[in-house]
Amino acid sequence: MPIFSLPMALFGLLSLPTLAGIYWLRNRYRKRTVSSLMLWHSVTPAKEGGTRVNRLQTPLLFLLELLVLLLLVLAATGPRMLISSSRLPVIVVLDDSFSMLAGGDESPRRAAIESIRRRLETGRYTMRFITAGDEARVISDDVTDPDEAEALLANWRCQSPRGSLPRGISLALEVGGEIARILLVTDHPPAENAAIGERVQWHAFGKSTSNIGFVGASRTTRKDDQMCLFEIVNFSDSPTTAELKLEWLVDGADPAPIGSPLKLKLRADEKRDLFIPVTPSIGTIRASLGDDALDTDNQVVLLRQEPRAVRVSLGLNDSQLTRHIQHVIRVIPGIEIVTTKADLLITDAEKLPTLNEHAATWTSQLISEDPTSAYIGPFVVDHAHPLTTGFSLEGLVWAAGNANEMSGGNHRSLLAAGNVTLLDVRMDDVERHHIRMRYRLDASTLHASNVWPVLFFNLVDWRRAHLPGVEHPNLRVGESVIINLTAGGKALSITQPDGQSREQPLAGRRLRIPAEQPGIASVKIVEDDSPFKSPEWQYAANLLDGNESNLRSAGAVEVGDWSNAKALRWSYQSVAWSMGLLAAVMLALHLMFMARRSSRTDGGGGVS
Nearer to other proteins, 47 or 223 (CB): 47
If one asks whether residue 507 binds other proteins (CB under 8 A), the answer comes out as no
Angle at 506 between CA 500 and CA 509, to 5 degrees: 120
Rounded distance, CA 511 to CA 491, Å?
Answer: 11
Helix (H, G, I), strand (E, B) or coil at 508: coil
Rounded distance, CA 334 to CA 73, Å?
Answer: 77
Nearer to other proteins, 26 or 566 (CB): 26
Binding segment toward other proteins, per CB under 8 A, in 39-47, 366-374, 384-392, 420-428:
39-47
Cβ count near 133 (within 10 Å):
25
Size of the site for other proteins (CB under 8 A): 36
Binder to other proteins among 32, 263, 351, 358 (CB under 8 A)? 32
Tell me the closest approach of the beta carbon of residue 591 to other proteins, in angstroms. Answer: 18
Binding segment toward other proteins, per CB under 8 A, in 35-43, 133-141, 190-198, 383-391:
35-43
Whole-angstrom distance between the N-terminal and C-terminal Cα of the chain? Answer: 59
Nearer to other proteins, 11 or 24 (CB): 24
Binder to other proteins among 5, 31, 507, 531 (CB under 8 A)? 31
Tell me the closest approach of the beta carbon of residue 62 to other proteins, in angstroms. Answer: 13
Tell me the closest approach of the beta carbon of residue 603 to other proteins, in angstroms. Answer: 7
Tell me the closest approach of the beta carbon of residue 593 to other proteins, in angstroms. Answer: 12
Applying the rule CB under 8 A, the residues between 560 and 599 that interact with other proteins are: 597
Binder to other proteins among 36, 281, 419, 564 (CB under 8 A)? 36
Q: Which stretches does DSSP call E strand in 479-550? A: 480-484, 491-495, 501-505, 510-514, 519-526, 536-542
Helix (H) or strand (E) holding 549: helix 546-549
Rounded distance, CA 387 to CA 368, Å?
Answer: 20
Binding segment toward other proteins, per CB under 8 A, in 47-55, 461-469, 494-502, 525-533:
47-55
Applying the rule CB under 8 A, the residues between 369 and 408 that interact with other proteins are: none
Residue 122, CA distances (Å) to 128, 212, 523 in order:
16, 40, 46
Tell me the closest approach of the beta carbon of residue 562 to other proteins, in angstroms. Answer: 60
Applying the rule CB under 8 A, the residues between 52 and 81 that interact with other proteins are: 54-55, 57-58
Applying the rule CB under 8 A, the residues between 278 and 317 that interact with other proteins are: none
If one asks whether residue 35 binds other proteins (CB under 8 A), the answer comes out as yes
Closest C-alpha to 439, from 430, 449, 427, 429: 449
Binder to other proteins among 30, 351, 358, 533 (CB under 8 A)? 30
Binding segment toward other proteins, per CB under 8 A, in 51-59, 136-144, 277-285, 313-321:
51-59
Helix (H) or strand (E) holding 70: helix 52-76
Binder to other proteins among 46, 151, 331, 591 (CB under 8 A)? 46
Nearer to other proteins, 177 or 604 (CB): 604
What DSSP assignment string belongs to 300-345?
EEE-------EEEEEE---HHHHHHHHHHHHHSSSEEE-SSS-SEE
Cβ count near 225 (within 10 Å):
11
Binding segment toward other proteins, per CB under 8 A, in 38-46, 273-281, 357-365, 515-523:
38-46
Rounded distance, CA 416 to CA 103, Å?
Answer: 60
Cβ count near 409 (within 10 Å):
7
Beta strand pairing status for 469-470 and 519-526?
Answer: unpaired
Binding segment toward other proteins, per CB under 8 A, in 28-36, 272-280, 387-395, 455-463:
28-36
Nearer to other proteins, 44 or 450 (CB): 44
Asked if 235 and 213 count as a contact pair (C-beta separation under 8 A), the reply is: yes
Nearer to other proteins, 45 or 371 (CB): 45
Helix (H, G, I), strand (E, B) or coil at 391: coil
Binding segment toward other proteins, per CB under 8 A, in 6-14, 50-58, 436-444, 563-571:
50-58
If one asks whether residue 419 binds other proteins (CB under 8 A), the answer comes out as no
φ, ψ dihedrals at 193, nearest 5°: -100, 10
CA of residue 353 relative to chain centroid, distance? 43
If one asks whether residue 123 binds other proteins (CB under 8 A), the answer comes out as no
Binding segment toward other proteins, per CB under 8 A, in 36-44, 175-183, 212-220, 577-585:
36-44
Nearer to other proteins, 5 or 35 (CB): 35
Asked if omega into 378 is within 30° of 0 (cis), the reply is: yes
Strands ordered across the beta sheet of 379-381 = 335-337, 310-315, 344-347, 362-367, 433-438, 420-427, 412-417, 379-381
List residues binding other proteins (CB under 8 A): 26-47, 51, 54-55, 57-58, 597, 600-601, 603-608
